[in-house]
Amino acid sequence: METQDIGNPILPAAGVHRSHAADGGAGPPPGGHYDDWTPNPLQRRGRVQSDHSPLSNALLRCRRPFIMATYNANTVREEARLEELAHCAEERGVEILAVQEHRRVHTDQPINYRRVGGCTFITSSAWRNDAQAATGGVGLMVSPRARKALRRVHPHTNRILTADFEGSPVTTVMSVYSPTNAALIEEVERFYDDLRTAIHHVPAHNFLIILGTSTRDSDQRTHPSRTTPIPTATENI
């Protein structure tokens, strides 16, 4: 009797995005990533990006501790607060710090890179509310080691920032800022729809890390009649 090898129906081939893996698609668009990705401007010129990263630049390595954290800053517009945040990250050995509510507006730049001490602060712009006050904004405070491994950054929405780092597999880190308890349920659901879409755009073989806040518990308290809770980020991985 002839036998036939059947591929694993759960694990898609390397390079296939989660959304394409679910519907049988062929993977990322031509070029290997989406057009609105911003490459790391701090990398050496002429360097070729590869899915098979050199070990020297890999973000995560066996037997070497790596600390990540998340922090709702409630504004770091003042230089002193930003410098203090960078100092605390360096002092505690945090390699990647996801920051929410930095409240720095730079609408002319989709992604802003700023050196702060020995760290680099990478942000997508905050926005202005009806009173024209700066609000929101997500970013990543990265160490020199993480900065060296950084490949590209993508602002999926003004609440979701995605960054790819060298490694085998590539490490994808998301900094997310969910709506507050006072937000309308439609805004909360839109955020989680956006988060689900962002996750589906990550290649299935990438090591995915989501850092930020979740409104699941607060939504249950605010809307006790809801029978199906809004999924958290970790439940979508």
CATH number of the domain to which 164 belongs:
3.60.10.10
- The β-bridge partners of 39 are 152
Q: What torsion, rounded to 10 degrees, do the Cα atoms 206, 212, 216, 217 define?
A: 140
- Residue 114 falls within a domain, yes or no? yes
In a domain, 221, yes or no: yes
Q: Would you give per-residue pLDDT tens digits along the chain (237 residues)?
A: 454 444 444 444 555 566 555 544 433 444 444 445 666 665 544 444 444 445 567 888 777 788 999 999 989 999 999 999 999 999 999 999 999 999 999 989 999 999 999 999 999 999 998 889 998 999 999 999 999 999 999 999 999 999 999 988 899 999 999 998 888 899 999 999 999 999 999 999 999 999 997 655 444 443 444 433 333 333 333
What is the Cα–Cα distance from 196 to 232, expressed in whole angstroms?
10
Whole domain around residue 188: which residue ranges?
A: 66-231
Residue 203 · residue 167 · CB < 8 Å? no
Please tell me the predicted confidence (pLDDT) of residue 63.
73
What pLDDT, on the 0 to 100 scale, is given for residue 105? 93
Structural domain contains residue 210? yes
Tell whether 58 is covered by a domain.
no
If you search the block for the tokens 């609408």, which residue do you land on? Answer: 107
What's the number of domains the chain is made of? Answer: 1
At residue 179, the 3 state secondary structure works out as: coil
Run of H or E residues at 94: strand 94-100
What is the pLDDT at residue 180? Answer: 83
Q: Classify burial at 160, counting beta carbons within 10 Å of its beta carbon; exposed 0-12, middle 13-18, buried 19 or more.
A: buried
Q: What is the pTM of this model?
A: 0.70
Closest CA to 233 of 180, 182, 184, 178: 178
Residue 131 belongs to a domain: yes
**3-class SS of residue 87:** helix
Determine contact, residues 192/235, Cβ cutoff 8 Å. Answer: no
By the 8 A CB rule, do 213 and 100 touch? yes
Q: For residue 127, is it within any domain? A: yes
Q: So what's the pLDDT on residue 38?
A: 63
Contact status, residue 95 vs residue 86, Cβ threshold 8 Å: no
Residue 38, phi then psi, degrees to nearest 5: -105, 115
The edge-to-edge listing of strands for the beta sheet with 171-176 is 38-39, 150-157, 160-165, 171-176, 207-212
pLDDT of residue 183: 84
Q: Is residue 191 part of a domain?
A: yes
What φ, ψ does residue 221 adopt, rounded to 5°? -75, -40
Round to whole Å and give the CA distance between 70 and 67.
Answer: 11
DSSP 48: P
Does residue 46 lie in a domain region? no
Give the per-residue pLDDT at 93: 94
Phi, psi of 181 (to 5 degrees): -60, -30
